[in-house]
């Protein structure tokens, strides 16, 4: 019966969507309004049906009805909001819950008063309630859904002004608590704030309000948490944990990227002095027990130094046109911190912040001087000493910042990185660094945060450096050859496929050798690179079919699940090669693929079934 009702509702939905598409004709409107009661009754009944599929169609229909001007009466609108609240919070199936939240986000800009007056207070009430009859796990799940729903409905300025204070108040409450699940709760609030920030980017007023409200509040809470106490500085303080700070970074970044020039200039004049001079007057609740000095020395200030991640999120998301006060001093402090901190998280965020600022810095003598200072700090640190890892991290991020903008010094730094591949200790980490150079980081040095990213920088990096990687591989000793293969596979994996296809004949032997490397990262990166090439360059790949079959089948027994899955996908992609080339291997491959059918991991079994099925069909009529 549910399937029949769903079919009828889908047909009704089709008519409603046509009405929505064709616009307003008086005769059509009057005819539709005369059917308001039965149409609403059908849709509302679908929302309370146990069938998830029927609920989903009902939610889609509800969204269309809400978009038809004047169709829903005030009492109907209240029912709509009530149904959406119930589905979002109480429906067991996550599909219906997420669809209800999306529907609320679509309808909220059309009926902002109804949603801010009815939905937001209900969500706030649920968020603050403590039910004894519910288990802690159920209540935690309900809280998380409330947070998601508050974010989803924040699609109108007036609603944003209601929801953001609720979310920030809940964050204050959670971070003061001492329960075991606090870190997860704080991360959930930050994820909801991040969604609100992204939605606010569409509207200048919302964006300005969110930035001026949320950013000072987040900074104030973090500074308060970082104040030194007699107890262990990080114990019971979720805001100082790496997971939470990493969740706060995209909130501040998204709140900053779309600021007006005037508001950006005003904000930077507060935030930079906060970190350089401890100027806290612009923060709410700014009476702290001692000064904020994240760039000063002292073990007791380690917690404060972790907050450089939030500085990075802000200054690296500003448009290039915004002048940063005391920029040269800030760069020197970040450089010193990136080289001296014993905390990997702090050192890395300081290096990223330094690189983000260097990337946007205008060319000239000032930039040259700061880069020379950085090179002078890095080079001795890479040779020896307790902080080689920090020096390598700084080298990688500064190199990336300069590669993106085609700065002349990038060649020197890349050569320095290539030289480290031959180092027994730093070589593997340097090889992994090539992935960082080619990939797009989520928090800094990408176009979304106004970084200086030149077109085709990957192709240029490939042209300049892959011949050096190949040459280094042939000259290297057997104990470090894997480093060159790893670096090469990372570069090729991020290269546009049309470019890679043209260079394939010379590079394929090295890629095949990389499959024999014992390093799982190399294996996985190489398999990811080869799979699309089997589809896009079958003629070239078919010349090496014997080696490919042997390597792929061998790797289907790898201890690493990700490698087994990638090898099976490549075995599947092999069937795109010419049939005449593959037929001699058909029986052997089918036998070999029987083993992963019994793999303990479901995802591996799924890939094995798909690959083996294609090999069974190889050579059959109609394929």
- Flag whether pLDDT at 232 surpasses 50: no
pLDDT in tens, 491-500: 988 888 888 8
Share of the chain above pLDDT 90, in %: 59
Name the more confident of 392 and 73.
Answer: 392
- pLDDT for the residue numbered 623: 58
**Average pLDDT of 107-112?**
92
Q: Tokens in use for 214?
A: 């949320």
Query: For residue 153, what are the CA distances in angstroms to 87, 109, 616?
Result: 14, 9, 50
Cα angle: 78, vertex 82, 83; to 5 degrees: 120
Q: Could you tell me the pLDDT band of residue 70, with boundaries at 50, 70 and 90?
A: confident
Q: What is the CA radius of gyration of the chain?
A: 29
Widest Cα–Cα separation across the chain: 84
Core vs surface per residue 264-301: b (16+ CB within 10 A) or e: bbebbebbbbbbbebbbebbeeeeeeeebebbeeeeeb
622: pLDDT confidence band, cut at 50, 70 and 90?
A: low
Tell which residue, 486, 507, 512, has the closest CA to residue 497. 507
Least confident of 76-90, 100-114, 504-518: 504-518
Q: How far apart are CA 301 and CA 298, in angstroms?
A: 6
Domain spanning 496-617: CATH 1.25.10.10: yes
Q: Is the pLDDT of residue 468 over 60?
A: yes
pLDDT at 231: 45
Across 18-32, 52-66, 69-83, 593-607, least confident range: 18-32
Checking if the pLDDT of 104 tops 50, the result is: yes
pLDDT category at 235 given cuts 50, 70, 90 is very low
Q: How far is it, in rounded angstroms, from Cα 405 to Cα 427?
A: 26
Whose CA is closest to 353, among 401, 389, 388? Answer: 401
The two structure tokens encoding residue 459: 């192709």
Give the CA distances from residue 361 to residues 366, 498, 503, in Å, rounded to whole numbers and listed in that order.
Answer: 9, 33, 35
Q: Quote the pLDDT of residue 519.
A: 84
Contact (Cβ atoms closer than 8 angstroms) between residue 151 and residue 196: yes
Mean per-residue pLDDT for 476-494? 88
What is the pLDDT confidence band of residue 151, given thresholds at 50, 70 and 90?
very high
With CA atoms as reference, report the closest residue to 199 among 233, 135, 150: 150
Conformation bin of residue 83: beta by default, left when phi > 0, alpha when psi is -120 to 50: alpha
Give the pLDDT confidence score for residue 6 in this predicted structure: 86
As a whole number of angstroms, the distance between CA 573 and CA 575 comes to: 5
Average pLDDT for residues 514-542, to the nearest whole number? 88
Between 332 and 184, the more confident residue is 332
**Helices 409-420 & 365-383, crossing angle to 10 degrees?**
10
What pLDDT was estimated at residue 233?
Answer: 47
Per-residue pLDDT of 525-534, as tens digits, reads 889 889 988 9
Specify the CATH number of the domain 1-128+139-153. 1.25.40
Mean pLDDT of the chain: 88
| Mean pLDDT on 286-301 | 81
Interval 19-63: pLDDT, tens: 777 765 555 556 667 777 888 888 888 888 888 898 999 999 989
- What's the pLDDT at 245? 94
**What confidence tier does 481 reach under pLDDT thresholds 50, 70, 90?**
confident
Model pLDDT, residue 368: 94
Domain ranges of the chain: 1-128+139-153, 156-227+236-325, 344-495, 496-617
Rounded to an integer, the average pLDDT of 297-308 is 85
CA–CA separation, 472 and 467 (whole Å): 8
Please tell me the chain's helix, strand, coil percentages from 3-state DSSP, rounded to the nearest 5: 75, 0, 25
pLDDT of residue 234: 47
Q: In this structure, what token pair is assigned to residue 364?
A: 């000239």
When pLDDT is cut at 50, 70 and 90, the band that residue 384 belongs to is confident
């Amino acid at each position: 019966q549910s399937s029949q009702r769903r079919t009828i509702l889908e047909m009704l939905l089709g008519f409603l969507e046509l009405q929505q598409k064709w616009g307003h004709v008086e005769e059509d409107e009057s005819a539709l309004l005369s059917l308001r009661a039965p149409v609403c009754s059908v849709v509302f009944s679908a929302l309370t049906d146990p069938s998830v599929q029927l609920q989903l169609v009902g939610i889609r229909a509800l969204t269309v009805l809400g978009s038809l001007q004047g169709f829903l009466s005030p009492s109907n609108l209240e029912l709509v909001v009530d149904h959406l609240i119930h589905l979002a919070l109480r429906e067991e199936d996550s599909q219906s819950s997420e669809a209800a939240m999306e529907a609320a986000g679509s309808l909220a800009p059309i009926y902002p008063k109804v949603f801010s007056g009815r939905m937001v207070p209900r969500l706030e009430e649920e968020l603050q309630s403590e039910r004894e009859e519910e288990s802690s796990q159920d209540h935690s799940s309900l809280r998380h859904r409330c947070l998601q729903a508050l974010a989803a409905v924040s699609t109108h300025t007036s609603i944003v002004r209601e929801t953001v204070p609720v979310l920030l108040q809940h964050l204050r409450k959670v971070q003061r608590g001492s329960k075991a699940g606090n870190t997860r709760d704080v991360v959930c609030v930050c994820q909801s704030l991040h969604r609100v920030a992204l939605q606010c980017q569409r509207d200048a007023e919302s964006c300005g309000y969110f930035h001026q409200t949320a950013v000072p509040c987040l900074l104030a809470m973090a500074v308060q948490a970082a104040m030194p106490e007699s107890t262990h500085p990080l114990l019971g303080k979720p805001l100082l944990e790496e997971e939470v700070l990493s969740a706060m970074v995209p909130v501040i970044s998204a709140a900053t990227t779309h600021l007006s020039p005037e508001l950006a200039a005003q904000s930077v004049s507060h935030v930079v002095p906060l970190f350089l001079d401890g100027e806290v007057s612009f923060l709410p609740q700014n009476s702290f027990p001692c000064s904020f000095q994240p760039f000063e020395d002292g073990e007791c200030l380690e917690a404060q130094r972790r907050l450089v991640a939030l500085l990075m999120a802000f200054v690296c998301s500003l448009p290039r046109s915004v002048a940063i006060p005391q920029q040269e001093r800030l760069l020197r402090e970040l450089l010193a911190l990136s080289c001296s901190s014993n905390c990997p998280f702090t050192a890395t965020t300081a290096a990223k912040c330094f690189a983000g600022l260097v990337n946007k810095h205008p060319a000239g003598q000032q930039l040259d001087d700061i880069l020379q200072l950085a090179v002078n700090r890095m080079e001795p640190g890479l040779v020896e000493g307790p902080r080689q890892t920090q020096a390598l991290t700084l080298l990688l991020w500064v190199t990336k910042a300069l590669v993106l903008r085609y700065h002349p010094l990038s060649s020197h730094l890349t050569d320095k990185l290539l030289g480290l591949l031959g180092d027994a200790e730093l070589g593997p980490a340097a090889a992994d660094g090539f992935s960082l150079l080619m990939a797009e980081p989520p928090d800094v040095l990408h176009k979304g945060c106004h970084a200086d990213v030149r077109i085709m920088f990957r192709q240029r990096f490939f042209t300049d450096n892959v011949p050096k990687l190949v040459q280094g591989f042939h000259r290297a000793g057997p104990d470090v050859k894997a480093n060159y293969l790893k670096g090469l596979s990372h570069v090729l994996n991020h290269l546009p496929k049309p470019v890679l296809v043209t260079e394939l004949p010379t590079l394929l032997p090295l890629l095949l050798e990389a499959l024999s490397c014992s390093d799982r990262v190399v294996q996985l990166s190489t398999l990811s690179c080869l799979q699309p090439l089997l589809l896009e360059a079958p003629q070239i790949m078919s010349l090496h079919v014997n080696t490919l079959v042997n390597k792929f089948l061998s790797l289907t027994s790898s201890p690493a699940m990700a490698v087994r899955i990638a090898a099976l996908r490549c075995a599947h992609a092999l069937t795109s090669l010419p049939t005449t080339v593959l037929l001699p291997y058909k029986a052997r491959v089918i036998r070999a693929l029987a083993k992963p059918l019994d793999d303990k991991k479901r995802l591996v079994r799924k890939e094995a079934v798909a690959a083996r099925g294609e090999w069974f069909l190889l050579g059959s009529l109609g394929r």
